Structure 1
Amino acid sequence: MLLRLPTTLSEAQRYLAEGAVPVGGATLVWALWQRDGFPEQAMSLRALPQANLIGREALGAAVLLHQVDDRVPEVLRRAASTVGTGAVRRTATVGGNIVGSTLRCLLPAALVLDARATVLDGDGAYETDLAEVVAKRHLLLGLRWRDPVVSGYHKADGEAGGEPPLVVATAVHAGGDGRHRLLVAVRDGYEVISETTPCHPDPERVLRGLDRTALGSLPAQARDAVRREVNGILEALAGH
């Protein structure tokens, strides 16, 4: 197997056209390749500058999960820190987790940041939403978002080999009119639901707004977790 390491977008685009298979940290595909056979060409973005950005409002797809630190918002940092073991986080990439994994541990965090994705195909790089990235399994170059006022993340304890643990991600964003909006994303099993509602000093009013969305149909345990996290993020907003 020939591993391609593009340093420019034009090189990456050419390797894609030649049939190179995108690979992140290979934590998910290596066992499949050993079983089914290796492709003639694979491509890693680890040498591509655009895929290695880490900042308050940007994160590259080739960044390793253990490199996701306090340069990014809390919700994304905490999401990355809870993926797998330390050994996995030193190998797995942001892009591989969001596009290649069925768990998509970083997806709820990216959704509450209202992140936009930059992807690459045969026609070049362009920006799209996360729903399209997940559905069409695009080659992800990176994520961009507006820095939230506050954010939070909760991941329930899970059992090895069991169902994916419940995840509740939250973030509050300031609008151009000075008003705040709360974004909440929940991973329940393999499904991820995200909703938004205006913030209000009365947490019960905010929770009633969320109950009128798809979040209101979650199981009781998940709704209780959402309630706790929303109360916590509104307290953090009040003290900000």
Structure 2
Amino acid sequence: MILRSPTSMSEAQECMAEGAVPIGGATLVWATWQRDGFPAHAMSLRDLPEANEIGPENLGSAVVLNRVDERVPEVLQKAAAGVGTGAVRRTATVGGNLVGSTLRCLLPAALVLNAHALILEPEGVHITDLTEVLAKRPLLLSLVWRTPIASLYHKEAGKAGGPPPLVVAGALRREDDGGRRLRIAVREDGEFLCDSVRCHPTAEEDLRALRNGCLGQLSNASWEAVYERVSELLVRTPGR
């Protein structure tokens, strides 16, 4: 296997045109390759500057999870900190978790931030939504979003050999007309649900509106976790 590490966008596009397979942090693909055979050409984005940026409104796909810090919103920082073990977080990347993993531990955080994806193709870079990223698995370059007013992340303890643990993520953001919108995403038994409501005068009204939407499909225990965490978020948000 020939592994290339492009240092410019043009070089990365050349690698793609030649059929190089992206490897992320290789935490997910290595065992499969050992079993099924290695590709002739592979590509890592670890030396591509655009894939390694970390900021208040962007996060590169090649960033390893233990580098995701307070520069990004709380919900994304805590989501990254809760993935696997320290050894995993030192090698697993943002792009690998979102595109290559079935657990997609960062997905609830990305959903509540209403993040969009910059994807790299042989023809260039374009922006798309997460739905396309999950469906087509393109080469993710980075995530971009608008800074939220506040956010939350909660992950319950999991059981060995059991289903993926419950995750509740939320973000409150200001809309163009000055109003506020609350977005909540939940991972329950490996399935993802996400909904948003324009904020009402009281937290109880917000929670009732969420319960009347797709989050009404949640089990009672999961809804109780949503209720508790969202109530905490709304109480600690200035101007509520």
What is the TM-score normalised by the length of structure 2? Answer: 0.97
Partner residue in 2 for 1:11: 11
Runs of 4 or more above 4 Å deviation: none
CA distance in 2, matches of 1:232, 1:12: 44
What amino acid maps onto 1:164 in structure 2?
P
Q: Is 1:105 the equivalent of 2:108?
A: no
Cα shift readout 1:39-85 (whole Å, capped 9, x = no counterpart): 11110000101100000011000000000000000000000000000
CA distance in 1, matches of 2:160, 2:120: 35
Q: Is 1:161 the equivalent of 2:181?
A: no
What amino acid maps onto 1:169 in structure 2?
A
Partner residue in 2 for 1:237: 237
CA distance in 2, matches of 1:239, 1:90: 38
Question: Alpha-carbon deviation of 1:175?
Answer: 1.1
Partner residue in 2 for 1:82: 82
Question: Alpha-carbon deviation of 1:201?
Answer: 3.8
Structure 2 SS opposite 1:141 = strand
Partner residue in 2 for 1:191: 191
Structure 2 SS opposite 1:237 = coil
Partner residue in 1 for 2:219: 219
Structure 1 SS opposite 2:50 = helix
What is the TM-score normalised by the length of structure 1? Answer: 0.97
Deviates most, 206-215 or 61-70: 206-215
CA distance in 1, matches of 2:168, 2:97: 17
Cα shift readout 1:117-149 (whole Å, capped 9, x = no counterpart): 000123221000001101111110000101000
Partner residue in 2 for 1:22: 22
Partner residue in 2 for 1:66: 66
Question: Alpha-carbon deviation of 1:214?
Answer: 0.8
What amino acid maps onto 1:27 in structure 2?
T
Question: Alpha-carbon deviation of 1:238?
Answer: 3.7
- Equivalent residue runs for 1:200-219 within 5 Å: 200-219=200-219
What amino acid maps onto 1:173 in structure 2?
R
What amino acid maps onto 2:225 in structure 1?
A
CA distance in 1, matches of 2:56, 2:160: 33
What amino acid maps onto 1:91 in structure 2?
T
Structure 2 SS opposite 1:200 = coil
Structure 1 SS opposite 2:236 = helix
What amino acid maps onto 1:57 in structure 2?
E
Q: Is 1:45 the equivalent of 2:38?
A: no
Structure 1 SS opposite 2:152 = strand
Deviates most, 209-218 or 44-53: 209-218
Question: Alpha-carbon deviation of 1:239?
Answer: 6.6
Question: Alpha-carbon deviation of 1:19?
Answer: 1.1
CA distance in 2, matches of 1:11, 1:221: 50
CA distance in 2, matches of 1:138, 1:218: 31
| Structure 2 gap segments, 5+ residues each | none
Deviates most, 220-229 or 150-159: 220-229
| Structure 1 gap segments, 5+ residues each | none
Structure 2 SS opposite 1:72 = coil
CA distance in 2, matches of 1:33, 1:55: 33
CA distance in 1, matches of 2:168, 2:27: 25
- Equivalent residue runs for 1:30-41 within 5 Å: 30-41=30-41
Partner residue in 2 for 1:118: 118
Structure 2 SS opposite 1:232 = helix
